Chain A
């Protein structure tokens, strides 16, 4: 049903990279497998080797260093991230995005890094991580590469990762003091559904900078230009944000929604997001 393939479960990155290099494009990394196995079953992907990476210790890191930088290993299931109280406190938007994905059972397997590497235009982890300025670390026999998320997505389900590169972890910079973060996702129903439209943002009262990113409205998730809030009224900032989104978005009609619907809904999400982020005395 999934095709015919071999499975290896290396315990080191070097071994994983060796296996991937040997097999080339007919090998794939298996972390959570919640996108990959569905694709294999549908025949959208064909592989000869799956390289399971969940036993590689280096990919299981989930920690916050003393400066507040967050590291999320590639093999860390979403639920593990969601259940870390410290992350919910400092990066609530990140937890909101993770909680919106699929179902509890799938979140015990699916990973944030996997969500990004699958590179769906509707990837739920993308907008908030873009707004947070996160980077993806990729490892190959040639060395380690730090990829800003804004450079990761190059097309529908396409990343800039080389065939022998393994994404090892996400690094989220230490948040500015009092940083607020939010994620909003428009779905057809409550529960397991892909995003019809999505928007994420961060606002740092200490710097007055608003960062917005949107999903499910273009071939890739989009990071918008930061907005200096300054002394502008909330209405003015909302208008600026909405105009920026309307210029940037290139929605399509698909099974979940029409392009017109997306053009109507995304600005509403963005307005709500801005209002929430700028609210006086707002919590992180």
Chain B
């Protein structure tokens, strides 16, 4: 493989995984965001040869068995997808965030997503989608039930046992 091939070029042109988009090619728009050993990076500024021995995750891995993930469905439900070009990068940044911080504050969501530009939506629906996805997989505290996303994309709606604050757990 040529050393000068970027990870982005490798994913799109060699592996035909075209979910990852090129927006700027210089790391400024986030459209090419993938997870590299679980860390969000812009694939345009990573050489393919550098990822030898690493795990790369792209948006193609979000849905399972043809079912959208809870995160993807949240994007659909909040209207966070217009032209859709920024969406794969947004999804991967959000996926990286929720893995390392399943209960992010609004500020933490903004900080995590700030490296992904969108020309269509004005961002609010996208931030709402990330909040919605985070809440959906978090056990409900209190009388109202949350929607629990299952790995195969189905969801359970119903009463979820209350978290006992004395026993600790996330806020």
Contact = CB atoms under 8 A, between A and B. Distances in A.
A47 to B, nearest CB: 10
Nearest to A107: B115
B27 A106 contact: yes
A5 B47 CA distance: 11
Interface stretch (B34-42, B73-81, B155-163): B34-42
B45 A103 contact: no
Interface residues on B, range: 20 to 34
B109 to A, nearest CB: 11
A38 B26 contact: yes
A201 interface: no
Contacts of B46: 33, 109
Contacts of B114: 103-104, 190-192
B25 A103 contact: no
Interface residues on A, range: 20 to 34
A2 B40 contact: no
A2 B8 CA distance: 13
Given A33-B46, A38-B26, A38-B27, A105 B40 contact: yes
Interface in A86-120: 102-106, 108-109
A188 to B, nearest CB: 13
A216 to B, nearest CB: 18
A159 interface: no
A106 B9 contact: no
Nearest to B34: A105
Contact of A34 (B3, B6, B45, B49): B45
Most buried by B among A3, A102, A190: A102
Contact of B3 (A6, A104, A192): A6
Interface in B1-46: 2-4, 6, 9, 25-28, 30, 33, 36, 39-42, 44-46
B40 A104 contact: yes
Contacts of A162: none
**6 residue pairs, one from A and one from B, having the closest CB atoms:** A103-B115, A7-B3, A2-B4, A108-B39, A105-B115, A105-B40
Given A1-B4, A38-B26, 4 more contacts: A4-B2, A33-B47, A34-B27, A105-B33
Interface of B: 2-4, 6, 9, 25-28, 30, 33, 36, 39-42, 44-47, 49-50, 52, 93, 111-112, 114-115
5 contacts: A30-B50, A37-B47, A79-B39, A106-B45, A190-B114
